Chain A
Amino acid sequence: MVLVILGLAGQLFAQDKLVTGKVTNSQDDSPLPGVTVSVKGSTQGTTTDSQGSFKISVPSGKSLIFSSVGFTQKTVQVGSQTTINVKLDENTSDLEEVVVTGLASSIKRSNAANAISVVKAEQLTGTTKPPYLDNAMQGKVVGANIVANSGAPGGGISVRLRGISSINLSTEPLYVIDGVIIDNSQFNTGAGSRAFSGATTTSNVSSQDQATNRVADINPADIESMEILKGPAAAAMYGTRANAGVIVITTKRGKAGETKINLSQDIGVAQAQRFLGSSNWNDKKIDTFFEGYGIGGYTAEDYKRLLKEANGRTWDYEKLFFGETPIITNTRLNISGGNDKTRFFISGGLNSEPGIMQRTGYGRRSIRLNLDQKFNDRISLGVSSNFINSNSSRSFTGNDNNGVAIGYNIAYIPNFIDLTQRPDGTYPVWGYTGQNPFEIRDKTDNLESTNRTLQSANLNIDIIRKENSLLKLNVVGGLDYFTNENEVYVPDYVAYQQQRANPGASRVSKSRALYSYLQSFLTYSWKVGKVDLQTQAGAVRNIRDFDLTWVQGEGLLPNQRNPLTGAVRVFDQFFQKTQEVAVDFNQEFNWNDKLIGRVGYRMDRSSLNGDNTKWYGFPRASLAINLTKFDFLNTDKINLLKPRFAFGQTGGVPAFGDIYSTLDATIIGGQLGSVTPTTVGNGGLAPERAQEIEAGVDVGLFGNRLNLELTFYNKTIFDFLNPYTLSPGSGVTSIKAFAVGDFENVGTEISLTGKVIEKKDLSLVTTLAFWNNKTTITRLTIPETFAGFGFGAFGRNRLRQGASPTAWYGTPNVNGQPTQYADAQPKYQMSLNTVLKWKNFDFSMLWHTSQGNHNSNLNQELRDEGGNTLDWMEDSDGDGIVNPLDGRLFGINASNNTSVFVQDASYIRLREIAVYYTVPKSFLQGAFGKVIKGAKLGISAQNPITITNYFGYDPESSNFGNRALGFGVDLTPYPSVKRTFFHLSLDF
C-alpha cells in the first residue's frame, strides 16, 4: 500500500494525468480492440482492451495518437480532458499509405523519395475480376509494360518495369508476398517439341511450349495492396535479384472488432475478343491462288471439286473452335476479425474459368489463413499460410510443324472444306498436314496441375524502449513449395502420329521447387534534436532447390498414356540448387517531415556467381524535400510540393549453370565416353549490375484535390551477359555467358489525379497517366549479333551499339547488315481511370493505350498462304496482282521484305468497366433482420473494347513466352477473351 501511494505520488510529481476512454469504428460504432494509444513525442503507450477501452497517464500538454492497422491514425490534444472517446475511420486515403524503404522499414507515402506505384485491393480487383494477378495489374502501373503472351487459360503474362532489365536473363520482377520471395518460373512442358506440335525440332526442351508463369497461382482477391518498386533506386535493398524491379505484395489481414463474414459470387461469360474472318472462294480465286501459290496436298482441281461438293455450304472454323461462350464462376468466402491480442483472416476461393475452346480451361482453389498474435505489448507475431491448387488444360496453340496447333492450322483451311467429325466418329484428314484439328481438340491433352503452399511468419520484438529511442528486432521467414505436373498426350490413332515412326506420344513432367527465405533485422529509432533517425542492419538468406523430371514415350501401346509403354523412351532429370546471402545496412533520417533521406548498402553473395565467397555491394541513397513544410511556402493552395531524388544499384545473378563447363557423354561401340564441351562456362561470372537515377516531383494543389506525380529516370544495366562466340580455331564455339556491354532505359512517368467532384453523395476521381521508355545499347564489345528468339526474316532482335535491343531487324541486308525496323516496346502508354460515386452507386472505368509497339506478325502471312484473308482477291494498288501475291507473302515477290511483317500493334483498350450498387442498410434490416449486414451488386466487364488496326487476335502476344528479347512475335496464339460478370457480395 505504501508503494502504491509512492508510485502515485511519483506520477503526480511529474504532473501526469490519467486519461480513460473508448475507441470505436466510425462506420458502425463497434468497439475497436487492439488500438495502439501512444503519447506523442514519446514511446509511452498502451492498447485498447476487447471492449475498446483504454487507460493511460499523460504528461500535461501532450497529445495522444490512436493507430490501428487498417484505420486512419488520429491525434487528439488532451488538454483538460480526462475522458477521450475516439472514432477511427477505416483507411482509404492514399496519403496515409506507407511504402517500403528497407527490408524491415517503411515510410509514409507523402515522405517517399521514390515514385512507387501502389495498387490497392480496390483498384486491383474492385472493378472487375481478372483471373490472374498480373492480368489484374494491366494498365494500373505507371512505368510498366504488362503484356499477355496469349489468351490460353492459365495465364502467361510478362511484366516489364521501366523497359527491359537484361538481354538474356529473366526480365520479370521479383515477387515478394508478405515479406517472402516467391517463385515465378515458367516450366517447359514439351508441348512444342518434335513429337507434339513440332514448333521446335528438338526432342527435349522447347522454347515454344506456351507455358504459364507461376505467379498466376496467386489469388488476386487475397491481396490488400501491391507496391511496385520499379527500378534499382527503389528496389536496391533487394540486391542481386532486383534488376527487373520488385513487386511487394501484402495480403489481407484481420482487423480487431466484430467478426465479419463476406461471401461473394461472380458469374460471368467469356468470349473471344475478335475473329479475323475467312473469305469465300470461287473458281477464279482458286485459279489465282494456285497460279500464284497454292498449298501442298491439293491441286486447283481438288479445290474446285471440293468447292462444288460443298454446294455453297461454308464452315467458319474460327467460330467452330474458338466460339464457345463458357460460364466463369468465382466464389469467395472471407472471415475476419479478432480481439486486442489476436486477429485473423481466413479466405477460401474457387475460380472456374473454362476456355473459349472445348476441353480447355483453368481452375483454382485456394485457402488462406493469416493470423496475428500480440503476446504482450512488445512481442507480436504474424503468420500467413496459403495453399493453392490450380489446374489448366490448354490444348495446342502457337507455332506448329505437325498440323497440331489449332490457330495455326485453321489459318490455312478454306471455308468450303468440311473437316467436322463424321457421324461414324471418324475425322476426315486434311490433305495439307495429314491431320484434322478437331481430332486434336477432342483427343489430345496438354494438362497442367500445381499444388503450392506459401508460408510466412513475421516476428517483431521491441527489445529496448526508452523515452526517445526504440530498438526492434524483426525476423521474417517463409517458404514457397510447389509441385507442378504436366502431361502432354497424343494417342497413337491420331492421324499425324500414324505417319510417325512410333505413333502415340506421351510426356509426363514433374517439377518440384522449394524456396526458403529468412531475414533478420535490428532497427534502432532515435532522435537527435528535431531529426528522427532510424538505423537498421540485418541479414538475409535464401535457398532455392529445384528438381525437374520428365519421361517421354513414343510408340505407345494402343490407348495407353503411361510413357513407359512407349517403344522409344526418353528421360530427363535436372537439379538446380542456389544459395544466396546478403547483409544490409540502412540509415534513414527525417527532419520534421521537411527533409527526408536515406542511405543504404547491401552486400550479396550467391552460388550462381563464379566466386561463391565474393561479396557484391549495392549502394543506395535518396532525398525528398517537402517544401510545403517550410514556412516560406505555406499557402492553402499548395498542399504538397516535394522534389525528390533517388539513386540505387541492384544486381542480376547469372543463370544457373553458366559458371560450369560440363563434360558431355558420348557413346561409341556401346561404351560410354566423356568429352570436353564446345560451349564452356565462365568461372569468373559476376552479376549484371543495374544503376538507376530517378528524379521527380510530387505536387498537391487545392486541398490535395489535384495531385501530380512527375518522374524521370535513367536505368542503366552495366556488363550485361550474353553468350560470347569464340574463335572456332580454339575448339570452343562459345562461352555461355560473358559481360559484353551496357544498355540504358530512359523514361518519363506522369500521373495526374483530380478529385473533380467531392460532395456528400457525389464524387468523381479521375487519374490520367502517361509513361514512356526508350532502351539503347550504349556499349557493345562484341560484333553485332542477332539475339533472342524469332523467325528469321519475319523479324529478329539484334544487339547493335546505339540502337534499341528490342528493335526488329530483317531483310533486305544492306552492306551485309540487316535493316533496322520499329521497336517491340511501345513509344508511350497512357491510362485513364475514372471512379464516380453517386449515392449507392459506384461506377468505374479504366482505359489504357499502348502506342508504337510493333510485333513480328505472322497471322496475316499464314492466312494469306492459306488464301483465307478477307481481302485476298483485292488489288489495292490496281496493278492486276492480288494483295497477297503483291508483296505480302513471304518470298513471293522480290520487293517483299521484313517491313511487311513488322507491324504496328498499337491499341486503345477499355480494360475494365463496372457499376456497383450498395443495398441500403435500412432495406437489408427490414428484409433480413440482422442476418445480412451489407450487400453489394454489380456488373462489370474486362477488355470489352479494343480499338486497333492490328491484324491478329490480340495486339498483346508473345509466341516465345516471357523474354527480354523476342517478345511480340505473334503467331496464331490462343485468342484473347473478354469477360462480362455479374457480382454479388454479402456481409454477414
Chain B
Amino acid sequence: MNKYIKLATLGIGISLMSSCSLLEVDKILEPNNPTVESIESNATANQISQLGIGLQSTARNGIAAFYETSGSIGREIIRSASTDNRYFSEILGTVDIDPAGIFYGWYGSYNATRRRAELFIRSADNTNSITAAQKAGVRGFAKTIQAYAMLNCLNMLQSSGIRTSFTDLSAPGDLLKPGKFSDYAGGLAYCKTLIDEGNTALGQAGASFAFPMTAGWAGFNTPANFARFNRAIAARIAMYQKDWAGMNTALNQSFLNLSGPLSTGPVFTFSTTAGDLTNPLFQNRNTDGAPWVVQVRVVPEAEAGDTRIAAKMSRRNNPRASGNIAASEFEVFMYPSNTSPISIIRNEELVLMYAEAQLQTNNLVNAENALNIIRTSAGLRAYAGAKTAAALTDELLKQRRYSLFFEGHRWFDMRRYNRLGDLPKDLANHRVFAEMPRPQSEVDWDVRNP
C-alpha cells in the first residue's frame, strides 16, 4: 500500500469517526413561525400575553355569518345578493337548507374560538411564568369566551346540538375522534358549566389579568369587572334554560343598571391596520352588490316615532327587490364606518332580560317599568297596553325585536315562545325553519366515527 492510500484512508477514517453525527439528522425547528408546541408548555409571560390578545382578536370571527343567517330566518333582514339567490330562497324556506351549503360560516369560527380558548388555558396551566391567580384569570377569561361562542352556535342548531367534549386537542390523530353531540338541553347545560367555571376562576384571579385587555373591554378589563360580563352571558344562558331565578341572580351580579346608559357593555373593535379586521357588518349605503336590506315588515310594524328605526336603518335611493320578493325600501345601516365597534352584549339587553325575568316570576310592575326604560330611550311614550302577562310578553318581544335588531336574537325569541308561525313570510312558498340542520361534514364524521 503506498503512502497516498494510507494518508487518504487515514484522513477519511478520522473524519468519519470524529463526526458520528454524520448520520444524525437535526430536529429542524420551524424557521418561519412559532409553533404550537412553543406555547404548549413553559410559555413565557409574553407568549401568554399574545395568546390573550389573539383570543380577543379571533373571538370576533363568525359574528357576521351568525347575525346574517339568524337574521334572515328570523325575518329581520335579507341578504340581497346579485350573484347568489340562495340568500333569499333557500334560507327563507323554498327548499331545505343544504347542510353542506353556504350558511355555516359561523360554525367553524365559533368552534375554532372554543379550541383556541382551550389551548390558551392549557398553555397557562403548563407554565411557571405566571402566578396561580393569573392562571385562574386566563381560565376565567377563556371559559367565558367559550360559553359566549358556543351558546351562539348551539342556538343556531338547537336540537341538532353541539359537540360538548374534546379528545386530546394537541394530538392530530385524536382529532380524528371528535366528541359526541349533545341535544339542546345538554348543550345549554354545557354552556352553563363553562360560564360558571369561568366565574369561579375569575373570583380567584386577583386584581388583574396576565394579558392586556384591548380597548373594546374598557370597563371589563379586570377579573372583577370582567366577571360582570361573565354574569351577563350567564343570564342569557339561564334565559334559554328558562331558569328565571338563576337569570335574576346572574343579572344582579352583572353590569345591569336600570338607571344607567343602555349602551354600556363590551364591544368588538375594528381598525384598518394591516393584519386587523374591519367591521364585517359595515355596508356602504345604496350598494348593488349584496346589500343587507331590511325585511319589509320591520319598519311598518314599528311604532311611530321609534328612534331605533332611524338609528339602525337607512332608506335606499332605489328600493331593492330580491328575486320575486317585494322591494325593500330600507337597508341596514347600524355601523357608520368600517371601524365602528360591534356590541357584544349591553345594558339594553340586560334591562330587557331583567324585564323578562320579572315577567316570568310574575312581578309585572317591575317588568313594565323595565320595558318603559327601553321605550323611553327609543323616543316612545310609556307602555299603555294591558297589564297582563300575555300582553307584556308581546310587548317584551316587540321591544327586543327593535332594540336587538340584527344582533342574533329575534329568531330565537320567537322560537322560545313558540311563535315561529308569526314570523312574516315574503312569498307563499317560504317556510320558517326552526333550526339549522347539523352540518353535512359532521354527519359524515359521525357515520365514520360512530
Q: A residues bordering B, Cβ < 8 Å? A: 375-376, 378-379, 459, 461-464, 473, 475, 520, 539, 541, 573-581, 583, 605-607, 612-613, 657, 660-678, 680-684, 724-733, 735, 738, 783
Contact = CB atoms under 8 A, between A and B. Distances in A.
A662 B28 contact: no
A184 B107 CA distance: 42
Q: Which interface residue of B107, B181, B214 has the most chain A CB atoms within 10 A?
A: B214
Given A657-B30, A676-B116, A606 B25 contact: yes
Given A667-B276, A783-B444, A673 B173 contact: no
Contacts of B276: 666-670
A672 B50 contact: yes
B178 interface: yes
Contacts of B28: 577-579, 607, 612
Nearest to B116: A676
B32 A574 contact: yes
B444 A665 contact: no
B116 to A, nearest CB: 5
Contacts of B31: 575-577
Q: Which interface residue of A579, A613, A678, A783 has the most chain B CB atoms within 10 A?
A: A678
Interface stretch (B36-44, B223-231, B353-361, B385-393): B36-44
B185 interface: no
Q: Can you list the 9 inter-chain pairs with the closest CB atoms, starting with the nearest?
A: A731-B115, A673-B53, A673-B54, A667-B275, A662-B33, A675-B54, A668-B57, A729-B163, A575-B31
A463 B5 contact: yes
Nearest to A729: B163
B5 A729 contact: no
A104 to B, nearest CB: 14
B25 A605 contact: yes
Contact of B53 (A475, A671, A727, A735): A671
A378 B2 contact: yes
12 contacts: A461-B9, A473-B8, A576-B31, A667-B271, A667-B274, A668-B277, A669-B216, A671-B212, A672-B275, A673-B52, A677-B36, A730-B166
B108 interface: yes
Given A605-B25, A668-B57, A730-B115, A678 B212 contact: no
A676 B24 CA distance: 31
Nearest to B58: A675
A672 B53 contact: yes
A613 B58 CA distance: 37
B47 interface: yes
Nearest to B22: A541
Q: A interface, by DSSP: helix, strand, loop or mixed? A: strand
Contacts of A676: 36, 39, 54, 115-116, 119
A462 B176 CA distance: 56
A462 B5 CA distance: 8
A725 B25 CA distance: 31
Contacts of B414: none
A665 B172 CA distance: 21
Contact of A662 (B35, B52, B169): B35
Interface string B1-42: 110110011001000100000111111101111111111000
Nearest to B449: A727
B298 interface: no
A213 to B, nearest CB: 23
B169 to A, nearest CB: 8
Interface of B: 1-2, 4-5, 8-9, 12, 16, 22-28, 30-39, 47, 50-58, 60, 104, 107-108, 111-116, 118-119, 162-163, 166, 169, 172-173, 175-176, 178-179, 181, 212, 214-216, 269, 271, 273-277, 439, 441-442, 444-445, 449
A852 B55 CA distance: 54
Q: B interface, by DSSP: helix, strand, loop or mixed? A: helix
A732 B58 contact: no
A583 B444 CA distance: 44
B211 to A, nearest CB: 9
A667 B53 CA distance: 8
Contact of B23 (A539, A574, A726): A539
A376 B7 CA distance: 14
A665 B275 contact: yes
Given A674-B34, A681-B172, A684-B173, A728 B108 contact: yes
B4 A731 contact: no
A668 B442 contact: no
B345 to A, nearest CB: 18
Contacts of A673: 50-57
Contact of B8 (A461, A581, A783): A461
Given A612-B25, A663-B38, A668-B269, A680 B172 contact: yes
Nearest to B30: A660
Given A665-B275, A667-B274, A729-B163, A675 B57 contact: yes
Given A539-B22, A612-B27, A661-B36, 5 more contacts: A379-B4, A581-B22, A663-B33, A666-B276, A727-B442
A578 B30 CA distance: 11
Nearest to B270: A668
Contact of B439 (A539, A663, A664, A728): A728
A92 B22 CA distance: 41
Q: Which interface residue of B31, B107, B111 has the most chain A CB atoms within 10 A?
A: B31
Contacts of A665: 33, 275
A668 B23 contact: no
A727 B116 contact: no
A732 B54 contact: no
Q: Which interface residue of B5, B12, B274 has the most chain A CB atoms within 10 A?
A: B5
Contact of B178 (A520, A541, A729): A729
Contacts of A462: 5
B112 A732 contact: yes
Nearest to B215: A669
Nearest to B51: A674
A580 B47 CA distance: 32
Contacts of A724: 176
Contact of A730 (B4, B26, B178): B178
A459 B12 CA distance: 11
Nearest to A577: B28
B399 to A, nearest CB: 32
Q: Which interface residue of B16, B23, B25, B104 has the most chain A CB atoms within 10 A?
A: B25
A592 B264 CA distance: 95
A731 B16 contact: no
A726 to B, nearest CB: 5
A463 B16 contact: no
Q: Which interface residue of A464, A541, A660, A731 has the most chain B CB atoms within 10 A?
A: A731
A725 B216 CA distance: 34
Q: Which interface residue of A475, A607, A682, A732 has the most chain B CB atoms within 10 A?
A: A732
A574 B439 CA distance: 37
A730 B175 contact: yes
Contact of A607 (B27, B119, B212): B27
Given A668-B57, A728-B439, A473 B39 contact: no
Contact of B34 (A376, A663, A731): A663
B227 to A, nearest CB: 22
Given A583-B23, A728-B441, A379 B5 contact: yes
